[in-house]
Copies of this chain bind each other. A is one copy, B any other.
Amino acid sequence: MPESPGVVTLDKLVSLCKRRGFIFQNSEVYGGLGSSWDYGPIGVELKRNLKELWWKDNVYRRNDIVGLDAAILMHPKVWEASGHLEGFSDPMTECKQCNHRFRSDHLDASTTSCPDCGGELTEPRQFNLMFKTFIGPAEDTANTVFLRPETAQGMFVNFQNVLNSSRKKLPFGIAQIGKSFRNEITRGNFIFRTREFEQMEIEFFVRPGTDEEWHKWWSRNRFDWYTRFGIRVENLRMREHEKDELAHYAKATTDIEYQFPWGWGELEGIANRTDFDLRRHSTYSGEDLHYFDEESGSHLTPFIIEPSGGVDRAILTFLMDSYCEESVPTNSGKLETRVVLKLHPALAPVKAAILPLSRNESLVPLSKSVLESVQSTGKWNIEFDDAQSIGRRYRRCDEIGVPYCITVDFQSLEDNQVTIRDRDSMSQIRVPIESLPTLLSEKLDG
């Protein structure tokens, strides 16, 4: 079936991502590792920009949130206290004939024979989603540790250390970005659901009684964050969890969902975790994870509001939502399709491209000196491209979302001016070379 022109599909996006260096299949030369992806030269910059925006908005621009970077491997007691050892599992059934395994809650209730070969299925049993490994030379239960399935617990168990060293007062938060791992049985939709993924999480500690208000505040704040950086509001929605889908620790959860080609999917969840986590860790560790309230002169256990976003899902969302196909006239007057990622300049992986009109012995040295003048600031990821026709280079820049193409032509040799082409409007203006660093700074750093 031919794909509809102008409509973004997962196939189109996966293909663009590979061709242009956003995302490659992990271990591709060995046939790949199921649903595992690597960020290429362009993708890694998008990811860096996204994480940097999140960090600066939540840590640098506020005075009530501090950062943390906890290790991936933690003491196994952490997962007893958190409830992950006991409860973080899926019901699995196995075919006795072909040994294929299935999530039993994904099969029709009446299914008794294997969807693949018709064989008989075993009774469902619980399969824990945490990856286990062994620390030290012996491979036994005593040395079993787990790859964290969420970054959150690192913030809970460090609560007292953070409080003592930062001397923050309620309400205050801890922010963390890092990898988590879940041995998911059902994966897929590109980077939407993978076993290894990155999270950006805030644990915001508040006074009991103010938690519902803060939960609303964070849900709104996080929703607006995505639209501020370009996600169309009609493609986003907030959805409250029904009582029966709430996690064991949550009093309420709001999902921010995006309209993916396969339907609405979770982009970020904002949970009201109550005082569950600090109480559990206090009980399991015997350490006092409380807060001394100077106002009342007594101890209290803060409630926690947790905005928990997926880095990879946010990247997929920004790619999907910025993808456009437009009909534009060529030099010869015919119409052709240009694919353009209309990414917010703050997210754009390459901020500007320096393009000599041709590989000419005078143009290339001048172009290199233009490159040097903007690259030496160290502020932006800048490309230099002198391969192929200028038209093809513009198309390539559009496909990776370069906001500004700077073209050096023969007139530049005489007037020391260059052309800046705006990605979205394709309009061009001519500016002096010496003004470029200031001009880009105004456009990009504002």
Contacts and interface: CB of A to CB of B under 8 A. Distances in A.
A28 B71 CA distance: 12
A287 interface: yes
A225 interface: no
B21 A165 contact: yes
A146 B150 CA distance: 20
Interface in A37-88: 37-45, 47-48, 55-57, 59-63, 66-75, 77-78
A161 B19 CA distance: 8
A106 to B, nearest CB: 14
23 contacts: A18-B161, A21-B66, A21-B161, A21-B166, A27-B75, A27-B78, A29-B160, A29-B285, A30-B284, A31-B75, A33-B75, A36-B73, A39-B69, A41-B174, A48-B67, A59-B381, A60-B380, A60-B381, A72-B179, A72-B196, A131-B134, A132-B134, A137-B185
Contact of A73 (B63, B135, B195, B371): B195
Given A44-B68, A60-B379, 10 more contacts: A21-B166, A28-B158, A30-B285, A31-B75, A38-B68, A38-B69, A38-B70, A39-B68, A44-B69, A131-B135
Interface of A: 18-21, 24, 26-34, 36-45, 47-48, 55-57, 59-63, 66-75, 77-78, 92, 101, 127, 131-137, 145, 147, 154, 157-158, 160-162, 165-167, 174, 179, 181, 183, 185, 195-196, 281, 284-285, 287, 289, 371, 375-376, 378-382, 384, 387
A378 B57 contact: yes
Given A21-B166, A63-B375, A73 B33 contact: yes
Contact of A371 (B55, B63, B78): B63
Q: Is the interface of A mostly helix, strand, loop or mixed?
A: mixed
Given A71-B196, A183-B136, A195-B135, A29 B157 contact: yes
A263 B365 CA distance: 49
Copy count, this protein chain: 2
Most buried by B among A29, A68, A157, A287: A29
Contacts of A387: 167
A38 B71 contact: yes
B27 A378 contact: no
A178 to B, nearest CB: 9
Nearest to A194: B71
Contacts of A145: 33
Contacts of A61: 375-376, 378
A162 B72 contact: no
A378 to B, nearest CB: 5
Contacts of A183: 134-137
B44 A67 contact: yes
A40 B101 contact: no
Nearest to A62: B375
Contacts of A382: 60
A59 B44 CA distance: 11
A396 to B, nearest CB: 9
A161 B40 contact: yes
A324 to B, nearest CB: 21
A382 B59 CA distance: 9
